[in-house]
Amino acid sequence: MVKAIRVHELGGPEVLKWEDVEIGEPGEGEIRVKNKAIGLNFIDVYYRKGVYKAVTLPFIPGREAVGVVTAVGSGLTGRNVGDIVAYGGNPMGSYTEEQILPASNVVSVPSSLDPVIVASIMLKGMTAWFLLRRCFKVEPGRTILVHAAAGGVGSLLCQWANALGATVIGTVSTEEKAAQAKEDGCHHIVMYTREDFVTAVNAITSGKGVDVVYDSVGKDTFQGSLACLKTCGHMVSFGQSSGAPDPVPLSALSAKSLFLTRPSLMHYTADREELLKAAGELFANIASGVLRVRVNHRYPLSQAAQAHADLENRKTSGSVVLIPDGADLCQDADEPNIRESKNKNYPWEIYSLKELLGATNSFHNDNKIGEGGFGSVYWGRSSKGVEIAVKRLKAMSAKAEMEFAVEVEILGRVRHKNLLGLRGFYAGGEERLIVYDYMPNHSLITHLHGRLAEDVLLDWPRRMSIAIGSAEGLAFGILLLEIISARKPIEKLSGGIKRDIVQWAIPLVEKENFDHIADPRLKGKYDRAQVKNAVLIAMQCTDGNPDNRPSMTEVVDMLKGGSRSKKEVAIIRDLVEEDEDEDYDEYDTDTDYEGYHAAQSAARRAWAGSKIR
């Protein structure tokens, strides 16, 4: 038995009951997930009130969550116990400590993203995606109106649309929310409690109107929203927090040839590929800093009724999450909790498309210096006179979106003169551009895996020098293993399975077979004690518990031969049949969304204690 919120009768927040429920075991194609964080959305209120009809009574509300896989149904491949997964949409029933989900409905969560952030944004973030990218394609030069601009979806719409180059008008109710909307990229803010928003929009657009209105309010704003549209404008009604709008005769649309839609996310993500594309683009925009996610409120799951009441009474802003009682993420509902996904200390530059077009001579073929699985690489010179390499991703897909997110997140945190370093990026419209340091003498990747691997072998002292110099960042343990072994961070095995370098190293570490971890091309020309030390340090850096990982200062000291940490190393027993390596391109890690994170999660699901001696 687990605890869950159930609704036995329709009504106010008081009908949300905290009860014991039996969820059973996963069947074929299903997984059992222990929730870490659960998103709260207005659609949950609609089902509780009966505006939307649940299939049966009683029912468990909720349509988004992040959790860890605790059991896998028979015959299912590609999912493992210990994987961190998320879902947003179907099925309903996330207000529970644990739940059964179709494996096809969940996506892997990048290890760099906070589960609370992801849980708060899955439904809202993918909603923003299909509103901006599918219902009406927002592009530079468009003018849009967003109602409830400081709300969960409204905030994301403003940020995302601004990044896409649109002019954004947002409506809010208070000065505090106006400040947030401005921070989120609203160019014009209308406080509807003080002025008529139709009059204000008409003045802002010089009487032309807007291209599209995104209206989640409903009854109170619907007619005014239609009046704000230009000829052939699009009215996107995706919510009704103030009640259902009055019926609209078709003739009301004909005066300006308006388009009206009442879309549902579930229809736009019913196809698995579209779901992965939505989640991939969402995660990429979080990782790159395009989207700032505010979790301004969180409540214990048992207090869902209070959370609903606060949401309906407009006492909340940004996103609201429910945390299963007893979880280490839980805290009192009235305790301030503002979490932002955008790290203001990232050393990245956000380039404009115009600057990168100028730097690369509009991606002229004469500037092309490489071709990878996900795109082409061009030499260029920035406006500051710096030589750069610009990777232009091919047509956007779920894999391409995660390639973008992974490279920005990982390369942005690991910097050294011999490593392929990230300078910045551009993300807008269908373009995803990653800007690297230009390396005329080639990067570490080229020397370990590429065309220089045989001709210019990196000796052991030089490898250790690079390791010590680059001991800073999120993925150092993996990088260190790559330097020691000259193996790829991710390799493809038979059957489409992917294995990361940590999984490959585990059985060798358990047998203390360190000579088989060292690059065989070195032919034993290295200090064996130093190799063992470096491997164990790498394993400690990849420990699943952040508290067990050494600081980078400790790592540098240990690599230089100083005293070693006594923290436990997480050893993963996850053996996978090895297959032949594939060609490796200097600017293309060939890391995909499902494969990379499935491999990372699987590698860290079963721990056995071992000490660094």
Q: Which of 545, 398, 552, 389 has its CA nearest to residue 471? A: 552
User: 3-state DSSP helix/strand/coil percent for the chain, to nearest 5?
Assistant: 35, 25, 40
- The residue assigned the tokens 């194609």 is 29
Q: What token pair was written down for 285?
A: 């925009």
Terminus-to-terminus CA distance in the chain, angstroms?
A: 43
Look at the block and give the residue holding tokens 């901006």: 132
Name the strand (E) or helix (H) holding 143: strand 143-146
* Backbone φ and ψ of 569, nearest 5°: -100, 130
C-alpha 281: how far from its chain's center? 8
The answer to whether 434 and 170 have CB atoms below 8 angstroms apart is: no
Of 184, 44, 218, residue with least CA distance to 123? 44
Instruction: Report how far residue 543's alpha carbon sits from residue 477's, in angstroms, rounded to the nearest whole number.
Output: 9
**Distance (Å, rounded) from C-alpha 393 to C-alpha 425?**
11
Concatenating the DSSP letter of every residue in 504-534 gives HHHHHHHTT-GGGTS-GGGTT-S-HHHHHHH
List C-alpha distances in Å: 519 to 99, 388, 401, 469.
Answer: 45, 31, 32, 20
How many other C-beta atoms lie within 10 A of the C-beta of residue 484? 26
Instruction: Give me 373's structure tokens.
Output: 């699985």
Distance separating alpha carbons of residues 165 and 167, to the nearest angstrom? 7
Structure letter (DSSP) for residue 14: G
Cβ-contact 145, 225 below 8 angstroms: yes
Let me know: does 495 contact 509? Beta carbons within 8 Å: no
Would you tell me how many other CB atoms lie within 10 Å of the CB of residue 107?
A: 25
Burial (Cβ within 10 Å: 0-12, 13-18, ≥19) of residue 1: exposed
Instruction: Give 20: exposed, middle or buried? Use CB within 10 Å, 0-12, 13-18, 19+.
Output: exposed
User: Residue 385 in 3-state DSSP?
Assistant: coil
Give the residue carrying structure tokens 């092309």: 368
Is residue 391 marked as binding?
Answer: yes
Strands (E) across 329-430 are located at 339-340, 349-350, 368-371, 375-381, 387-393, 422-428
Indicate the DSSP class of residue 458: P
Residues in the chain: 613
Rounded CA gap, 301 and 230, in Å? 44
Distance, in Å, from the CA atom of 286 to the CA atom of 404, rounded to the nearest integer, reads 11
Contact predicate 235/261, CB 8 Å: yes
Cα-based angle 263, 118, 293 (whole degrees, multiple of 5):
85
Q: Which residues are annotated as a binding site?
A: 391
Q: Which residues are annotated as a binding site for ATP?
A: 391
